Amino acid sequence: MIALSVNLNKIALIRNSRDTTNPDIPEHAQMCIDAGADGITVHPRPDQRHIRVDDCFDLARMLKVEFNIEGNPMTGPRRSDRAGVSDYPGFIELVKEIRPAQCTLVPDGDGQLTSDHGFDLKRDGDTVAPLVQELKAMGIRTSLFMDPDPEQIRLAAQTGTDRIELYTESYADAYRRQDNVDAVLHQFIAAAEVAAEEGLGLNAGHDLDLHNLPLFTTVPGLLEVSIGHALTVDAIRLGLANAVKAYRGALR
């Protein structure tokens, strides 16, 4: 069974629109778990515009399922300019202190609205590889956010990473437009086959939803999907627990 890790960033974004603790992040994490989520994902950015540093520690204290923290490993410490919001210690420092089950390294910049590309390991491989080894030495499973590019995936294997997470926006966009879906899906199938050849576990995420997810589950070797934005939107219509159950059903 493919694991569902629910990304709580958009739940936190709603909270941050007011000076409040509502919605409560650990409470909503538990609601997702009770409804069948296999794990919880967060992506704490240095501006803390959604998930904050304190949320990461709160979740780490209460979770009994896998915790996946995503972020740019090159992001250093930042001072917070908001009352009651802790300083950002730097991504790697945060992960070292929490030691989640999985750490997904993502090459996003401060100015990006959301993650929009995988690593270029021809350029960054020498920087990424030591970070992967550092995390693995602490017993943290590592995953690299990657485009469905076979050459780059082979380079990912050379870093020693345990898994890759395929960036699925191109598939989601093709599915939404119903344009060239089979050809785009084949790119992901080919990428998955290369990952398997290289001994890499396979995760996926970005704009997967109830409509496009069932077809994507035909990608061989898929272990986990991380879904936040679409699931949160569906939760407005269905309720959070029902949305999680619907995504579990789509993964079957």
Model confidence pLDDT, tens digit, residues 53-80: 999 999 999 999 999 999 999 998 878 8
Active site residue 206: yes
Nearest-angstrom CA–CA distance, 214 and 206: 15
Q: What is the pLDDT of residue 116?
A: 62
Q: What is the pLDDT of residue 51?
A: 97
Upstream peptide bond of 23 is cis (omega within 30 degrees of 0): yes
Q: Which two tokens stand for residue 158?
A: 């050379």
Q: What is the pLDDT of residue 84?
A: 77
Which residues of the chain are under the pLDDT cut of 70?
Answer: 109-116
User: What φ, ψ does residue 181 adopt, rounded to 5°?
Assistant: -60, -45
Q: Are 101 and 141 in contact (CB under 8 A)?
A: yes
User: Considering 28, 50, 165, 206, which one is annotated as catalytic?
Assistant: 206
Q: What is the pLDDT of residue 117?
A: 78
Q: What is the pLDDT of residue 107?
A: 95
Q: What is the pLDDT of residue 44?
A: 96
Active site residue 70: yes
Fold of 3-251: TIM Barrel (3.20.20)
Q: What is the pLDDT of residue 76?
A: 87
Residue that has been written with the tokens 């943290």 in this structure = 140
User: Considering 43, 50, 165, 224, which one is annotated as catalytic?
Assistant: 43
Q: What is the pLDDT of residue 113?
A: 55
Amino acid identity at 65: V
Domain residue ranges in the chain? 3-251
User: Considering 28, 50, 70, 165, which one is annotated as catalytic?
Assistant: 70
